[in-house]
Amino acid sequence: MFLSVFDIFKIGIGPSSSHTMGPMTASVNFLDRLSSGEEGAFEPNSVNHISVSLHGSLAFTGKGHASDRAVMLGLLGFRPDNVDADLAEQKLTELKSCCRLETAACGSVRFDPDCDLAFDYGPALPHHANGMKLFAHDGQGELLLSETYYSIGGGFVVTEAELIAAEKAPDADLHDEKEAIGYPYPFGSAAEMLQMGKASGLTIAEMKRANEESVLGREALNQRLDAVWSVMDTCISRGLSQDGVLPGGLSVKRRARAIHKRLVDQSGSNSQQPHAINDWLSVYAMAVNEENAAGGQVVTSPTNGAAGVVPAVIRYYRDHCIDTSSKGIGDFLLTAAAIGGLIKHNASISGAECGCQAEVGSASAMAAAGLCAALGGNNEQIENAAEIALEHHLGMTCDPVRGLVQVPCIERNGMGAIKAVSAASLALHGDGAHFMPLDNCIETMRQTGQDMRDKYKETSLGGLAVNLPEC
């Protein structure tokens, strides 16, 4: 299998890759289908009315995740990686006022956000927790086209037909995975990755780079890696500069700026405790996830809910470690993506499928592997670092309060970053030999997710989401 670095690290907007970026992409894809007129089944200009229904986790936590806003942005033609925030707000305001979509293929189409976007709190659709349906009607109300989409994590979207085909053929491609043929190092497991590394004498980052360059070329790959890190780094800096209360109704205050100021003031003084480095890691991660909660631009790492872990550990590497380099950052991203791809391929990165172990747990494993690589670890130590980090997130539930990616998500990213650094450090103190292989840990995560009750998988029906302070 081959999952690109840029399947794992996608530039988009908050607060959720599966609940925001996914529905936005599905809406854009539906418009694309309408523009073709289903190969002559109807004329695109005969479309008069569009409606949408959200199901399962998209319904139960859709308001908190801004899924309704994402659907409208998608129907307005915005894609997750090209949202102009000011223009988007202007277009949303116009839509809510006139209840019309101006589409390239279908012309002016009726869409009333209050009536045509439904949250269906009944049983989830049969094939995945994150389901949505889109409908197109003509002027007489006749159905011209309907499609069911599933948002399967990390911003990936598939149709119902694609998901059914995958259920019938377990090896089917759902995550933009390319055929292994033609890629020099198409490892599909950690064991294969280590075996290929030993046979070739290459590091994980070098093998991942060779795979990517076979498609993109060196210059384009480097430019795209630089762009990913630039967005991550900018997101941290932006989060550290902002004050105020996050949207959504929980009245959660941004804390990253104030914490960062105290850390800067204490830096170099005798009043700073040795464990302050954990505070630096946490504040970097919190800055990203406060931006994510506010709907800002982030990078899926591998998801929006876990978007702070990898950037925080890279910033820690750059600003706090010795003998760092831009090459180290590139190796970090390539190695982290390799680990994220293995988890995505063999288990899940979706909180709605496997709980937060699949999101922050995966992110922590990616960051641990990336840091270990950047600090000179060998392939066996890197695999060990990823396993340690993932192992100690097993069983973590996804239970966001009111469906908002705020409590416990913001702090949870900080804890994931701290665990990642600890895991990398432990692995570097060893020789790479360890008891539990990463592949077995990934399979355990998958099995644990299957056994986990749905109320603990991004539905906000259990856990912290229902054990709230009494007012």
Find how far residue 132's CA is from the centre of its chain: 19
Q: What is the value of pTM for the model shown? A: 0.91
Return the pLDDT at 179. 56
H helices of 4-126, in order, are 5-8, 22-40, 57-60, 67-75, 85-98
The residue assigned the tokens 């406060």 is 290
CA distance 470 to 80: 37
CA distance 69 to 187: 38
Give the tokens for residue 65: 């995740």
Q: How confident is the model at residue 433 (pLDDT cuts 50, 70, 90)?
A: very high
pLDDT digits (tens, 9 = 90+) for 49-58: 999 999 999 9
State mean pLDDT over 334-359: 97
pLDDT digits (tens, 9 = 90+) for 245-261: 999 999 999 999 999 99
Q: Which amino acid is at 205?
A: A
Q: For the ranges 78-82, 143-147, 189-193, 391-395, which has the lowest average pLDDT?
A: 78-82
Return the pLDDT at 38. 76
CA atoms within 13 A on the CB side of 313: 36
CA distance 299 to 231: 7
Q: Are 407 and 456 in contact (CB under 8 A)?
A: no
Structural Rg of the chain based on CA atoms: 22
Q: What is the 3-state secondary structure (H, E, C) of 198-241?
A: HHHCCCHHHHHHHHHHHHHCHHHHHHHHHHHHHHHHHHHHHHHH
State mean pLDDT over 93-122: 96
Q: Are 106 and 44 in contact (CB under 8 A)?
A: yes
Mean pLDDT, rounded, of the chain: 94
Q: How confident is the model at residue 471 (pLDDT cuts 50, 70, 90)?
A: low
N- to C-terminal Cα separation, the chain: 52
pLDDT digits (tens, 9 = 90+) for 140-176: 999 999 999 999 989 999 999 998 988 887 555 554 5
Q: Are 413 and 367 in contact (CB under 8 A)?
A: no
pLDDT digits (tens, 9 = 90+) for 213-240: 999 999 999 999 999 999 999 999 999 9
The closest of 45, 6, 411 to 175, measured between CA atoms, is: 6
Return the pLDDT at 469. 87
* pLDDT reading at 337 higher than 70: yes
* pLDDT reading at 272 higher than 70: yes
Return the pLDDT at 271. 77
Beta bridge partners, 2, equal: 178
Q: Are 373 and 332 in contact (CB under 8 A)?
A: yes
Share of the chain above pLDDT 90, in %: 88
Beta bridge partners, 157, equal: 151
Long-range contacts of the stretch 255-263 (C-beta < 8 A, 24+): 255/286, 255/290, 256/283, 256/286, 256/287, 256/290, 257/287, 259/283, 259/286, 260/287
